[in-house]
Chain A
Amino acid sequence: MNVREIEAAALDWVWAHRDRFALGDDALAADGQVNRTWKPLGELTQVCASVARCTPPGDPLHTRVCELLDFAWQQTHRGELFPLMQTLEPFATYPLEVYAAFASAGLRHPGYEASAAVLTRTRGWRLTEQYPTRRLGVLEAERRSGIDPHGDVPRALGRTWLGGLPEPWTFERAAGYALTHVVFHLTDWGRTTRGVPADLADYLLHWLPPWLDTCLDARMWDLSCELLAVAASLPRPPEPAVLKDAWQRVAAAQTTSGAIPEEGAAQDAAGADPGEDPYDFTDCYHSTLMAAFAAALATAAAARPPDVRHAARHAGQGAPG
């Protein structure tokens, strides 16, 4: 089992299905389904931006994700659609959140950033009601888009599930997705591992193994891949045996086309002889993206200097981290 092979296969699937990420005529419709239009495109962009950063120019995977980034940027008419989206829903946060993924890849639209800055200065924007994890994401989206963040990251972090260092046995699906995104926001999607405060890093090193193990047992592939991305976003990685076991199980869930289903239910529906590409786009695109993302981060983390990697031993049996 080779983590890079999982990454390459997942990106093959994404490339083969890139048209499914394309924005349709309903992308700017008043009753448009954001979760089926802008959200997948933003997720594709974010993952490709991260993979591009983790791979050197000239690497075929780097070339592949840069082509996908071009494709995604073209879908937004090179950013022109963002001001239009903003006109339709000025105080919605998702346009800026999607835009931030492009901005992190260096794909920017100065006009949109200037107009967004007008809105983010209002009290109304600051008081948008949303989950604490989403709040953290908006702060990061502002920062990545060249806008002064409207609030304070440590304060926003303190209101999240992960930021409160909850009892690890209270972990459930919703908490899992919240915590992975907190880490993604704190680290700029794996770019700056030092963004994770020391107490959070120790906490995650202690408890990622049982969370990963139980999510994999439950065939929650999407959340498992997100947890693997978290594992690769920490200043020190978890024990190699934990990661090896998890990646082997993810590899076993990957089809020959590179797709990884979100959950085991899709595998059950596909039957015993599922064929090469058995899943609906909506049942596998996110988990496949997350597998590529986690694999890219893991490959980059493994290449970090040995003195950093060996420090992981200190996360062992009760020793201070």
Chain B
Amino acid sequence: MIRDTTLAAKLWAVAIWAIVIFFVLNLFAMIGTVVTSSFATRWLGTWLPAGWTTRWYDSAWSEFQLGDVLLVTFQIVGAVVLISGILGVTAAYALARRDFMGKRLLVLLFLLPLLIPPITFGIPLATVLYQTGLAGTFWGVVAANLVPTVPFVILVMIPFIEQIDPKIEAAARVFGANTFKLFIHVLLPLLLPGILAALLLVLVRTIAMFELTFLVAGPTSQTLVVALYYAVFAAGVRAVQSIDAMAVIYMVTTLVWLIIALRFVNPTQIVTRAKQQPAH
């Protein structure tokens, strides 16, 4: 490591840390505002609210029917995680183990939904789903959410599968294992950490996925983040604190899973793909 000890270098370092601290402070203050407001009795024109209460959580829970919304959210997220896991891991296995004609084209096909922002492909997708009558239903929302998550699982899993020595599979074949047995007894245990990491990331991303759910959800298939959007959009109808209480409930649901996910993955993996592990 190279250490510059000149005055200019030190000033430069201080300036950079000042920017980082400024950013992080603002981020925490923004989250803090929401949390403080959700516990406030009355908060107008002062640094801190006049008093503290938890009654907004009660009122938010009943006003926004959060019990139902949370149940729907977890059903949708659960279905998305399960289906994208099954489709993604099998496809990733084929892509990692075989070289065939059109493989590059296929990888590009799986890469595109991750590069194109959801709102761009969401509008034509919503049009198709409305015409088939799927939009507004539970499975319509699941289908829309699967579009970016299946490719995500594939691209996270490919390097994971590539690092497993094919000789292990060959050995299992020699001893007479069929594809199913090979998968259950050899591959699954080896791949479990990777699958777990990929699916936890899918889970966190799906809870927070606003655009696709928003475009295709009906009144009974809203997830928490869409319900939050509508609440903020119609601000003025409800007390600000009630919306903030809902926002805190949303934050807690997301962050619990994020904390679990961070036990298995590196934070940078939420943005970029899993870095390929060295083979030895």
Question: Is B one of A's binding partners?
Answer: no
Residues of B that sit less than 8 Å from A by CB? none
